[in-house]
Structure 1
Amino acid sequence: MNSIQECMTTNVATVSSQQTIKEAATLMGQSNVGSIPVVDNGQLRGIITDRDITLRTTAKGLENSTPVSQVMSTNLVSGHTSMSVEEAAKIMAQHQIRRLPIVENNQLVGIVALGDLATNEMSDHAAGVALTNISEPNKTS
């Protein structure tokens, strides 16, 4: 089993709960992501998504200066550094989420996206096929 630490992103863009949704949206654009963990003093407080901004702010006519805390999702599911890739995939499937923040000692240490798991699984499969082909004796006679 592969550890989640092998495929998680550790350089995670974050916003504080007091930053504005405009700042969050700008950071999403710069980082080319659709969600950003909300972290106060290193602790994961929530997550804000482009969907949160659209439905909870723009659709309701709120200002760009609205604090992230007013529109972020707080019913968070998170993982831990000692979990396996398989465990993370199972949690993400159960909760139908595309990104899983990884927490250690109540501190955000990384995030795993669905694409990270797919890439990891494909790499493992490819490595397995390669190893099988390398390990088989040459069948030329």
Structure 2
Amino acid sequence: MHARDCMIHDVLMFNANDTVEKALAEMNEEKVNGAPVVNDNGELVGMVVKSDIYRFLIAPGRNRQYPLELVMSKQLITASPDEDLLTIAERLRESNIIAMPIVEGKQVVGFISLEDIVDVWLEQHVAKS
């Protein structure tokens, strides 16, 4: 099975120029802990997670109007839609992250989490029981 078989297609994404306030509000509303960040051309340039936002905001002088570009992680860990789920699961565990963008070129085409992979595994193994 491959990423395209279980990835989320409707991905919450932000622009690098969006404010920390906007990202935090939308992530809370959508009940997600992180999202890809793209540039004006729609190319993946970062990832933002709530914990990074909170760490950023506790520093003196910083506020919710700062751009995400100052908060996002630029060290990206991604997968392609055709990658095997086992390979993706191993990369998630080795990187100590719970989700990653699925990209074609520099464009985000999906998002996959450990939960998505566990759901597939459960579906396959419960069906066989």
Same fold at TM > 0.5: yes
Q: Which residue pairs with 1:123 in the alignment?
A: 123
Q: Map 1:83-122; keep pairs closer than 5 Å.
A: 83-122=83-122
What is the CA distance between 1:59 and its match in structure 2?
Answer: 1.2
Please give the secondary structure, in 2, of the residue aligned with 1:42: coil
What are the Cα deviations for residues 55-103 of structure 1, in whole angstroms up to 9, with x where unaligned? 12x2113111000000111111000011011111011011111011100
Identity of aligned residues (%): 27
The answer to whether residue 33 in structure 2 is matched with residue 34 in structure 1 is yes
What is the CA distance between 1:109 and its match in structure 2?
Answer: 0.4
Amino acid at match of 1:5: R
Amino acid at match of 1:10: H
Q: Following superposition, which runs of at least 4 residues in structure 1 exceed 6 angstroms of deviation?
A: none
Q: Map 1:33-112; keep pairs closer than 5 Å.
A: 33-40=32-39, 41-56=41-56, 58-61=57-60, 62-112=62-112
Please give the secondary structure, in 2, of the residue aligned with 1:46: strand
What is the CA distance between 1:106 and its match in structure 2?
Answer: 1.5
What is the CA distance between 1:118 and its match in structure 2?
Answer: 0.7
Q: Which residue pairs with 2:15 in the alignment?
A: 16
Amino acid at match of 1:37: P
What are the Cα deviations for residues 93-120 of structure 1, in whole angstroms up to 9, with x where unaligned? 1111101110012210001011111111
Q: Which has the larger radius of gyration?
A: 1
Name the CA distance, whole Å, in 2 between partners of 1:14 and 1:44: 9
| TM-score under structure 2 length normalisation | 0.95
Give the alignment's Cα RMSD to 1 decimal: 0.9
Name the CA distance, whole Å, in 2 between partners of 1:4 and 1:14: 19
What is the CA distance between 1:8 and its match in structure 2?
Answer: 0.5
Please give the secondary structure, in 1, of the residue aligned with 2:124: helix
